[in-house]
C-alpha cells in the first residue's frame, strides 16, 4: 500500500476541514496517558535528559563543517551542549538542487502521503519535542507540549492539505475541441505544476516548530526542497521534525536531503548568506520586522513573513467585568508575553465602561487588572507554569526598562521562584496607565510581559487608535469587549480594514493569544505584521506555477 493510500482518509478529512472551518484536530492536544501511553511522558523526559551534552545523530546529513550548537536552557540557565552536524552554506544548496529533480517528479498525492507519514511518526515523539521546547524556549510544560507537538502537527497537516488541494484543482490533461464551421480543431492539452526551487525556512526562538512547520511542509508538498535554518537558541525541537522527514524519505528511496537542517551559532550566522544566494527561490520567516523587511526587499525571491505587531484590546462595555479582566490578565501573563498574539495596548474610555451594575471607572478597571495579575502570578499552582521562563535575557532588560516609561506604573516586574527550576529566568508583567496622546510610547511592540492601560476619550478614539496602529505598525490580534451590536459591527469593520482579526467578548476557556488550525487564518497579510497567512491558498500557490503543452489530435 502506498503512503498516499494509507493516509488518504486523513488527507481527505483535512481538506474537508479547510472548507468547513469548524473544529478539527488530527492530533489530540492533551498529554493524556490514555492517548499517548503510560510511559510516554517519562520516556520523553528521559530522552531529553540523555540528549544533553550529546550529538544529535539522527539527521541523515554530513558533518564536513563540524558539529555546532549554542542552546541554553532558560530554566537551568546552563548550556545544553547539544550539537548538530553542519556543512557549508554552499553544500546545503548543492544538496537541495540535487534533490530537487527527483522530489519535483513525485506525484502530489504521494508527496502528501510521505509528509503525513512523518507527522504520524512525530506523534510518537510529542513528549520529546515538549521537553526540547521547554528547555530551548522557556515555554511552560503544557504549552510546550501543545504548541510544538499537536498544534504544530495540525498546522503542518493544514499546509499539506491546502497544497494538495491546489495542486489537484485542475486536470492533468484534457482533449480540447473548437468547432470551426465545417471542421473542428482538436488538441490534447496537458498541464504540470512546476515547483519554484529551493526554499529557506528561518525559524524563531520562541516557537521553533509551530512557526516553522507551515512553511516547511507547504514548501515540500508543492515539490520544493527545503533548508531549515533554526534560531541558534532553539534547534532541538525542529531537529526532531527534520530527522523524521528525512527518515521517511530515505525509507522510500528518495533523497533525505530534500530537507536539511542548517544550524549556526550567534557568532557565526549563515542566514543572510543563504537568503541572498540566487539558488534560494522561496523564503519563510518569523521574527523581527527589521530582518523581515530586509528579506522582503531581496530581489528574485518569493518571501513569506510573520513579523512584529502591536496588538490591541478595545474595551467598550461588558456584562461580566471580572471575567473579562481575568481573561486579559491571563493573556498578558501567558508565557511571559512572548507570543506574537499577546495583547499590549488596552484602550479604555476615561469615563469608564458600562456594565449591568452601572459604570465601572478607569481606575477601578486598573485596580482589577493589578489584582488579577498578582493573583495569577502568586498562585503557586499556576503562576510559575503560566509564566514559563524568559527565552532571551534581553527581554528581561526590556521589561525592567519599561517601568521608566512615561505614565503611571501600576505594576512593577518582580521575580518569583519556579519550584521545579530554582534557577529559571523569570519576570512578572509590567502594567502602566497612560494617556492616549502618548502614542509614541505605545506605538511599537515591546516584546515581553508589558501592557498599557490607555485612557481614551471614548470607544471611537479607542477604535481609531487600534486601527491606526495596526495599519501603520502591524497587528496580529485584537480583542474587543462590547454589549452593543452596532459597536461590535463598527469595531469589526474598522479593524478588518486594518487587516486585523477581532476576538469579541472572550471571558472563559479561550484567549486572544490562541489561533486554531483549519479555522483561524494566522496573520492576514493585510498589515505590516506580515505578508503571509497560515494557511490560505496564496500561501501554497505562490510556491509553484502551471505550465501547459498542446498538441493536435490526428486520425
CATH of 9-307, picked from 1.10.10.10, 3.20.20.70, 3.30.1490.190, 3.40.605.10, is 3.40.605.10
- Strands (E) in 251-301, as ranges, are 259-261, 280-286
The mean pLDDT values, 10 residues at a time, for the chain of 555 residues are: 96 98 95 92 97 98 97 98 98 98 97 98 98 98 97 98 98 95 94 98 97 98 98 98 98 98 97 98 97 97 96 98 98 96 97 96 98 96 95 95 96 93 96 97 96 98 98 97 98 98 95 95 96 96 98 89
Asked if 113 and 4 count as a contact pair (C-beta separation under 8 A), the reply is: yes
CATH class of 312-504: alpha beta
The kind and range of the H/E element at 432 are strand 430-435
Q: Does residue 173 come out as left (phi exceeding 0), alpha (psi in the -120 to 50 range) or beta?
A: beta
Q: How far apart (Å, rounded) are the C-alpha atoms in residues 205 and 230?
A: 8
Pairing assessment for the beta strands 280-286 and 302-306 based on DSSP bridges: parallel
Same fold for the pair 9-307 and 312-504: no
The three-state secondary structure class of 177 is strand
What crossing angle do the helices spanning 213-221 and 152-167 adopt, rounded to 10°? 30
Q: Does residue 14 come out as left (phi exceeding 0), alpha (psi in the -120 to 50 range) or beta?
A: alpha
Q: Where are the domains of the chain?
A: 9-307, 312-504
DSSP single-letter state for residue 148: I
| Sign of the dihedral through C-alpha 230, 236, 237, 242 | positive
Q: What is the pLDDT of residue 351?
A: 97
| Sole residue written with cell 484543482 | 169
Q: What is the pLDDT of residue 24?
A: 97
Q: What is the pLDDT of residue 129?
A: 98
How many CB atoms are closer than 10 A to CB 397?
13
Pairing assessment for the beta strands 259-261 and 226-229 based on DSSP bridges: parallel
∠ CA 355-361-366, nearest 5°, is: 110
SS (H, E, C) 35-96: HHCCCHHHHHHHHHHHHCCCECCCCCCCCCCEEECCCEECCCCEECCCEEEECCHHHHHHHH
Q: How far apart (Å, rounded) are the C-alpha atoms in residues 407 and 332?
A: 19
Q: How far apart are the first and last CA of the chain?
A: 39
Q: Residue 39 contacts by C-beta under 8 Å, 6 or more apart in sequence? A: none
Q: Which of 46, 44, 56, 228 is nearest to 144 (CA)?
A: 44
Amino acid at each position: 500500500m502506498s503512503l498516499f493510500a494509507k493516509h488518504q482518509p486523513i488527507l481527505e478529512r483535512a481538506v474537508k476541514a479547510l472548507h468547513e472551518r469548524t473544529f478539527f484536530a488530527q492530533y489530540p492536544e492533551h498529554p493524556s496517558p490514555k492517548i499517548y501511553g503510560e510511559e510516554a511522558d517519562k520516556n520523553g523526559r528521559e530522552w531529553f535528559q540523555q540528549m544533553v551534552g550529546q550529538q544529535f545523530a539522527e539527521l541523515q546529513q554530513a558533518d564536513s563543517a563540524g558539529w555546532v550548537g549554542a542552546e541554553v536552557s532558560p530554566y537551568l540557565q546552563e548550556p545544553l551542549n547539544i550539537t548538530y552536524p553542519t556543512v557549508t552554506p554552499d553544500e546545503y544548496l548543492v544538496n537541495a538542487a540535487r534533490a530537487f529533480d527527483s522530489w519535483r517528479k513525485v506525484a502530489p498525492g504521494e508527496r502528501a502521503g510521505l509528509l503525513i507519514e512523518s507527522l504520524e511518526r512525530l506523534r510518537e515523539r510529542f513528549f520529546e519535542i515538549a521537553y526540547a521546547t521547554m528547555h530551548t524556549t522557556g515555554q511552560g510544560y503544557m504549552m510546550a507540549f501543545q504548541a510544538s507537538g499537536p498544534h504544530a502537527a495540525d498546522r503542518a497537516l493544514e499546509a499539506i492539505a491546502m497544497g494538495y488541494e491546489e495542486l489537484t484543482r485542475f486536470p492533468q490533461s484534457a482533449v480540447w475541441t473548437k468547432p470551426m464551421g465545417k471542421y473542428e480543431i482538436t488538441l490534447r492539452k496537458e498541464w504540470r505544476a512546476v515547483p519554484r526551487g529551493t526554499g529557506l525556512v528561518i525559524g524563531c526562538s520562541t516557537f521553533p516548530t509551530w512557526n516553522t512547520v507551515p512553511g516547511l511542509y507547504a514548501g515540500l508538498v508543492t515539490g520544493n526542497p527545503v533548508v531549515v535554518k533554526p534560531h541558534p537558541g532553539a534547534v532541538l525541537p525542529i531537529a526532531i521534525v527534520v530527522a523524521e522527514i528525512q527518515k521517511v524519505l530515505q525509507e522510500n528511496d528518495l533523497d533525505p536531503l530534500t530537507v536539511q537542517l542548517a544550524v549556526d551559532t550567534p557568532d557565526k550566522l549563515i542566514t543572510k548568506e543563504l537568503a541572498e544566494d540566487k539558488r534560494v527561490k522561496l523564503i519563510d520567516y518569523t521574527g523581527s520586522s527589521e530582518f523581515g523587511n530586509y528579506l522582503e526587499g531581496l530581489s528574485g525571491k518569493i518571501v513569506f513573513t510573520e513579523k512584529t505587531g502591536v496588538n490591541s484590546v478595545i474595551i467598550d462595555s461588558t456584562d461580566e467585568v471580572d471575567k473579562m479582566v481575568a481573561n486579559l490578565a491571563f493573556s498578558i501573563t501567558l508565557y511571559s508575553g512572548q507570543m506574537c498574539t499577546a495583547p499590549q495596548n488596552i484602550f479604555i474610555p476615561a469615563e469608564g465602561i458600562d456594565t449591568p451594575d452601572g459604570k465601572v471607572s478607569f481606575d477601578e478597571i486598573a485596580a482589577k487588572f493589578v489584582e488579577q495579575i498578582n493573583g495569577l502570578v502568586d498562585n503557586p499552582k499556576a503562576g510559575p507554569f503560566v509564566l514559563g521562563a524568559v527565552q532571551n535575557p534581553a527581554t528581561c532588560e526590556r521589561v525592567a526598562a519599561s517601568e521608566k516609561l512615561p505614565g503611571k506604573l501600576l505594576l512593577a516586574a518582580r521575580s518569583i521562584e519556579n519550584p521545579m527550576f530554582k534557577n529559571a529566568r523569570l519576570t512578572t508583567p509590567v502594567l502602566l496607565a497612560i494617556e492616549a496622546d502618548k502614542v509614541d510610547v505605545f506605538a511599537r511592540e515591546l516584546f515581553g510581559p508589558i501592557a498599557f492601560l490607555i485612557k481614551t476619550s471614548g470607544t471611537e478614539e479607542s477604535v481609531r487608535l487600534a486601527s491606526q496602529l495596526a495599519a501603520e505598525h502591524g497587528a496580529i490580534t485584537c480583542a474587543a469587549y462590547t454589549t452593543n451590536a452596532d459597536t461590535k459591527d463598527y469595531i469589526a469593520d474598522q479593524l478588518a480594514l486594518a487587516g486585523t482579526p477581532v476576538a469579541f467578548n472572550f471571558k472563559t476557556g479561550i484567549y486572544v493569544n490562541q489561533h486554531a488550525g483549519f479555522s483561524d487564518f494566522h496573520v492576514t497579510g493585510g498589515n505590516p505584521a506580515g505578508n503571509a497567512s497560515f494557511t490560505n491558498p496564496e500561501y501554497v500557490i505562490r510556491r509553484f506555477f502551471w505550465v501547459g503543452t498542446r498538441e493536435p489530435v490526428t486520425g
